[in-house]
Structure 1
Amino acid sequence: MVNTAPAQPTTRPTKRPARPNGQWKVDGTAPLNHNEEFKQESDPLAVRDRIERIYAREGFDSIPGDDLHGRFRWWGLYTQRKPGIDGGRTATLEPHELEDRYFMLRVRIDGGALSTDQLRTIAGISTEFGRGSADITDRQNIQLHWIEVESVPEIWRRLEAVGLSTTEACGDVPRVILGSPVAGVAKDELIDPTPVIDEIQERFIGDPALANLPRKFKSAITGHPSLDVVHEINDVSFVAVDHPEHGIGYDVWVGGALSTTPRLAERLDAFVSAEEAPEVWHGVVRIFRDYGYRRLRNKARLKFLLADWGVEKFRQVLEDEYLGYRLRDGVEPPSPSSLGYDGPGDHVGVHEQHDGRFYVGAAPTVGRVSGETLARLADLAEAHGSRRVRLTPQQKLLVLDVAQDQVESLITGLAELGLKARPSPFRRGTIACTGIEYCKLAIVETKATSAAAITQLEERLGDLGSLKPLSLHVNGCPNSCARIQTADIGLKGQLVLDDDGNQVPGFQVHLGGGLVSPDRDDAGLGRTVRGLKVTADGIADYVERVVRRYDADHDGEESFAEWAHRADEEALR
């Protein structure tokens, strides 16, 4: 881990713009808002010492605001939502009025890779300190809740004893690196991205020079042809390709992100080798640090800089100012469908590894598990000869290294834990964010609502036996942690009017989104239909209605997303 002090470029142009955007290499480093001020006043990473030395001993009331609502994030800590505050008050209350005296703690798991010992450690922390809470996120993390600040040093001690951490799991930093869940084991893998992930993690995560970015920075790396890391919605992604001249390496993508202003990443048209990838990653994150917009938080993601610069300028700045050499021109990765992949790329089910053993992918219900479940999963995996588990960007999990004669027994054991290796299309395709249960930004409950909808849809649409997995993404607010714009059916939490004119929790509907769906090569964002909203208890009714209409109207092999984009609005209501 690098421990040098952050370099803060001070270069200024000869003519300043009328209104600076807070770009360090353009406007200088003077902070333009309070968020930028507190990051410069004290290195956010240094708050760990105060947590261990002061706050864990003196309790919640000893924590000052800038640490509590700001710097704690650099160590994976957010205050969670106080129970009983309805969604109608989310936007009207101050943070201290919404927050409880407990924390969400995010365990950083780069590449989603866990040993059974690590899994068991997280399970024990969940049970002892988090009331049994544990959610698998769509960023390959595990989130715990009900954490008290007094317990945090002991939690860190236990995590770090098994090689885990919460370092920069949140905050204006390089967040967890998404990695292919089948890295190093898949028969059809082009290249194992694990060495690149490990080098980035070891060299740069926790580096003070990268601990004050304009906002969060998200990365993804895959060596698998199914393109299984949602690379189009990350700030930087490396996607394995077989270049006709240079062999196997990575195609580089930059500037993707969703939230309220979604934008898909663009190719740099640059090929990099596995050896070059960490330095290229480092160059991209430093461009964001030095040129990213800091004046307004809602414009402080890399996607806004890329939109203004364009890909050609971005690549030129990367080469000239940060790498010192020209990158080789790249080739675009082939679409998964052109290679014969006919599933959603989540690795659910039974798959042979390159060594003749098997990995088994299973679906929890919208990522919701528990400490007890994780402990039993560790025991179950070991009883079937495995000591490795992987988490996926689709809130799924895999058990690796299973002998063929152990597969069916493992599947049975997983099902007893509520983890389905042969799930229904809806249990497989539904993900949900944290929702109002814990999140201070949320308007609507998501986890239980989604689980109830899945059960109803399994009962109602069981007759559609040939139905392919549909992605149903449920989000508790407009910020799209559950990637609503990229789902077949995306639901954005808000307050809506029911049939009697009462304001109730509900969702705006997005339809026909998709990234690298094997059924749809033109990755894109979903469409909205004017006035199309559903109540929270009406999700199953709506999904049943629109899926049956699709089943009746689609042409041949036409996917739901393709149909949703061509169908008239009346068919989508």
Structure 2
Amino acid sequence: MTTPVRSASRHHKRPRGEGQWALGYREPLNKNEELKKNDDGLNVRQRIIDIYAKRGFDSIDPADLRGRFRWYGLYTQRRPGIDGGKTAVLEPEELDDRYFMLRIRIDGGRLTVDQLRTIADVSRRYARGTADITDRQNIQLHWVEIESVPAIWEALERVGLDTTEACGDTPRVIIGCPLAGIDADEVIDASPQIADIRSRYIGDKAFSNLPRKFKSAVSGCPAHCTVHEINDVAFVGVVNEDGERGYDLWVGGGLSTNPMLAKRLGVFVAPERVHEVWAGVAGIFRDYGYRRLRHRARLKFLVNDWGVERFREVLEREYLGYALPEGPAPAPPRGGRRDHVGVHRQKDGNFYVGFAPKVGRLDADRLDRIADIAERYGSRRVHTTTEQKMVILDIAPDKVDDIVADLEAADLPVHPSTFRRQTMACTGIEYCKLAIVETKATASRLIDELERRLPGFAEPLTINVNGCPNSCARIQTADIGLKGQLVVDEDGRQVEGFQIHLGGSLGVNSGFGRKVRGLKTTAKALPDYVERVVRNYEKQRAEGETFAEWVQRADEADLR
């Protein structure tokens, strides 16, 4: 369903200065909007194939290089050797390397063994063996040269993968529960709805020029693993009073430098209606979204200004043409962690086995080894999670112990420590042009140190490490959220470090982490800090008290 742009009624008018299309304001108000008006980002694919891949990096139009390439998952990498103090000072062309990060889109986190092997082969041939799992279920490669991109696309597309709208002002990957269709406790299998949205709208020029990125989640997971509270649009599995299974609709979540939790519209969406409701929400964002200032262009700002009643009214009247019935709120998330690590029974009597790559970092050889292990034990499916982890499905009961042993031997633990299981990190300064500090190696060292110092600690504890303020690693919703910045050490030198957020959480008591005035640490002193605060928690916690609950009542001195 392609939603036409409609003029707003007088009741809904806002100042034209926000650049909202529905109010008749079509002239671009910044360079990004001008770039998109000049040429749709989806059109860059053919130029990459016909021109840039043949003529090389120096032939690339700057507007494509730093703009439209994102519509196909391509970002220039950070040039090596540029320290974090220069991130916000240098011009883009000074930060650019001649290599690219390439993001492979994996909707719902669903991969076959053949697809995993193809990614491994592409990584080995064209990306120096790199592979990172993101917290949105994608896999990112690095060191990609523009000359290789058409061959990469051909290889991926042969097995049903692509990079279309993996980045850019587009509907990015649709996240879903990696156990959809097999979890014995799931409310509804959302994989048909994800596939439906994907096939209808991804790559459709009706939605390829949004004000900013648009993040979607569709899931019936009883653990709420798709973190619906922080997506632009989310469909959460529910059962209504008539016993029908469908979805509760949430809109306007997002983090970055101005975090907001999504809001329930209070409606029940039948499975067959999901695709058109998704298109309606995306259409509102396209037509009414703020296009003047990039930092206010996410859907959350519109939802916050309008409120849920007005948003629902516009959705139903102008985009759907019918009223949505009232619906129930989702049940509280199933107890425990949201990551699906460990061994668990499927509804068919087989088992799934979730394991923990360290901070999502893998390589081509490890991807091949994962595929080998899955295939050896009869599985054709390896899925990614929203916590930078992976799950092998369909393991027969009598093969569980052996596959666990093989994964553990490959340093892919099925029963990891809390620190290995619940620490994640963004790309960081190694490759990212926005980053201020290094993240992956820092987080890996932190895990090793905490395992050594606190071997008996087994409580849930999320540690999210981010290289800049943009919160790709969801720092505000972590028990310990670490925002990369330069800090002054005890010798007065400026070094890599982190501002600390404490006690963020999603679920029953969703909320953002507490910031204690002046609470920072150097990267070097990070293990000392985390050990200290975790030991304080262990000493003071009440029976059943979570870290986030303790933080809310703890004295500031015990958080330092």
Partner of residue 424, structure 1? 417
Are the equivalent residues in 1 in contact too, given 2:497–2:522 (CA < 8 A)? yes
Structure 1 298/213 Cα, relative in aligned 2: closer, same or farther at 3 Å?
same
Tell me the residue number matched to 1:107: 104
Contact 1:32 1:294 survives alignment (8 Å): yes
The answer to whether structure 1 residue 567 and structure 2 residue 554 are counterparts is: yes
Cα deviations by residue, 1:186-227 (Å, 9 ceiling, x for unpaired): 111121100000000000000001000000000001112111
Q: 1:201 aligns with which of 194, 198, 203?
A: 198
Aligned residue in 2 for 1:447? 440
User: Paired residue for 2:358?
Assistant: 365
Identical-pair percentage: 61
**Deviation of 1:26 (Å):** 1.2
Of residues 25, 30, 37 in structure 1, which corresponds to 2:27? 30
Q: Counterparts of 1:276 and 1:437 in 2: how far apart (Å)?
A: 43
2:426 matched to which residue of 1?
Answer: 433
1:265 to 248, 262, 267: 262
Corresponding residue for 1:156? Answer: 153
> What whole-Å deviation, never above 9, does each CA across 1:267-305 have from its counterpart, x for those lacking one?
000111111111111100000000000000000000000
- TM-score, normalised with respect to structure 2: 0.98
| Alignment map for 1:128-527 (pairs within 5 Å) | 128-245=125-242, 247-336=244-333, 341-464=334-457, 467-516=458-507, 521-527=508-514
Aligned residues of 2:256 and 2:470 also touching (Cα < 8 A): yes
Shift of 1:463: 3.3
Secondary structure, counterpart of 2:152 in structure 1: helix
CA distance in 2, matches of 1:439, 1:272: 38
Q: Give, in whole Å, the separation in 2 of the partners of 1:493 and 1:114.
A: 32
Deviation at 1:345, TM superposition (A): 1.4
Q: CA deviation at 1:417?
A: 2.3
Query: Matched residues in 1 for 2:377 and 2:207: separation?
Result: 42
Aligned-partner residue type, residue 493 of structure 2: N
Q: Which runs of 5+ in 1 are unaligned?
A: none
Deviations 1:342-385 (A, max 9, x none): 32111100000011110000000000000111011111100010
Deviation at 1:469, TM superposition (A): 2.3
Tell whether the 8 Å contact from 1:13 to 1:27 is kept in structure 2 after alignment. no
Residues 2-42 of structure 1: per-residue CA shift (max 9 Å, x gap) = 9x8x9555669699866610100014211111111110111
Q: 1:7 and 1:334, CA in 2 relative to 1: closer, same or farther beyond 3 A?
A: closer
Closer, same or farther in 2 for the Cα pair 1:16/1:325, shift >3 Å? closer
Distance across 2 between alignment mates of 1:428 and 1:568: 28
Amino acid at match of 1:485: Q
**Does the aligned pair in 2 maintain the 1:234–1:265 contact within 8 Å?**
yes
Corresponding residue number in structure 2 for 1:535: 522
Q: Distance in 1 between matches of 2:12 and 2:181?
A: 52
Q: Which secondary structure state, in structure 2, belongs to the residue aligned with residue 346 of structure 1?
A: coil
> Does 257-266 or 497-506 show the bigger shift?
497-506
Q: TM-score, normalised by structure 1?
A: 0.96
Amino acid across the alignment from 1:522: N
Give me the whole-angstrom Cα distance separating, in 2, the residues matched to 1:8 and 1:240: 30
1:448-484 C-alpha deviation (Å, 9 max, x unpaired): 00000000000000133xx312100000000000000
**When the two structures are aligned, how many residues end up with a matched partner?**
560
Q: 2:16, 2:23 within 8 Å by CA — same for their partners in 1?
A: no
- What SS does the aligned partner of 2:352 have? strand
Q: Distance in 2 between matches of 1:535 and 1:7?
A: 52
**By how many angstroms is 1:559 displaced?**
0.5
The Cα of 1:245 is off from its aligned counterpart by: 2.5
- Paired residue type of 2:558: A
Separation of aligned partners in 2, 1:43 and 1:9: 21
Q: 1:154 to 1:507 in 2, by over 3 A?
A: same
1:318-363 CA distance string (max 9 Å, x none): 0000001111111111212xxxx33211110000001111000000
- Structure 1 residue matching 2:168: 3-state secondary structure: coil
Q: Are residue 554 (structure 1) and residue 541 (structure 2) matched?
A: yes
Question: Structure 1, residues 392-427: CA drift from partner, whole Å, max 9, x if none?
Answer: 000000000001111111112112222110000000
Post-superposition shift, 1:500? 1.4
Which whole-Å CA distance do the structure 2 matches of 1:386 and 1:188 have between them?
21
Distance 1:8-1:95 versus aligned 2 partners, 3 A rule: farther
2-structure distance, mates of 1:483, 1:134: 20
The corresponding residue for 1:48 is 45
For 2:43 and 2:305, locate their aligned partners in 1 and report how far apart those are by CA, in whole Å.
Answer: 34
**Cα 1:14/1:566, change in 2 over 3 Å:** closer
SS of the equivalent of 1:507 reads strand
2:16–2:25 CA contact under 8 A, matched in 1: no
CA RMSD for the aligned pairs?
A: 1.5
Deviations 1:172-193 (A, max 9, x none): 0000000011001111112110
Return the alpha-carbon distance in structure 1 between the equivalents of residues 242 and 264 of structure 2. 19
**Segments ≥4 residues shifted beyond 3 Å:** 6-19
- 1:275 partner SS: helix
